[in-house]
């Protein structure tokens, strides 16, 4: 893929959330784009969220060291960083206020293909609010040009 050339893709995101002995699943299928800048790959799409008026722009940044950042902008703002077997702290800005959160990445897999241009990102992580575990998350993003 050429640097800075935006490639339109179909994106599918599946999120499983395990909280308080309950499992919830969320699915999203959306058009988006993928852009390579330097050695990083940016996957961009919009997400409709409950309680938020306009769609939230989302960027998943795949970095050369294998770590992944999930960035939400707009009414809801956050930048989650995922490093295999590491904790990362950040703040989560919502219309209701700011929360400090922490993630611990249990598993992280990135797979990219050239022909056809496609890929997948799978992240298993624990989410904490302060020292309290909020839930266990499984995020899977797939894209195809």
Q: Compute the half-sphere exposure of residue 103: CA atoms within 13 Å on the CB side of its CA.
A: 25
This prediction's pTM: 0.89
pLDDT tens-digit map of 42-76: 999 998 777 667 888 999 999 999 999 999 887 77
Spell out the domains of the chain, with CATH numbers in brackets. 6-144 (2.40.128.20)
Per-residue model confidence as pLDDT tens digits over 74-93: 777 889 999 999 999 998 88
51: left (phi over 0), alpha (psi -120 to 50) or beta: left
Tokens matching residue 132:
């309290």
């Amino acid at each position: 893929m050429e640097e800075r050339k935006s490639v339109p893709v179909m994106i599918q995101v599946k999120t499983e959330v395990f909280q308080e002995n309950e499992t919830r699943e969320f699915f999203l299928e959306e058009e988006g784009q993928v852009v390579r800048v330097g050695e990083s790959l940016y996957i961009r799409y919009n997400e409709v969220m409950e309680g938020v008026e306009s769609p939230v722009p989302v960027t998943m940044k795949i970095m050369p060291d294998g770590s992944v950042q999930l960035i939400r902008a707009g009414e809801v703002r956050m930048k989650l960083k995922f490093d295999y077997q590491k904790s990362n702290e950040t703040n989560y800005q919502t219309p209701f206020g700011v929360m400090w959160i922490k993630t611990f990445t249990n598993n992280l897999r990135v797979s990219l293909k050239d022909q056809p241009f496609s890929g997948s990102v799978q992240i298993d992580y624990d989410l904490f609010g302060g020292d309290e575990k909020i839930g266990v998350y499984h995020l899977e993003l797939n894209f195809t040009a």
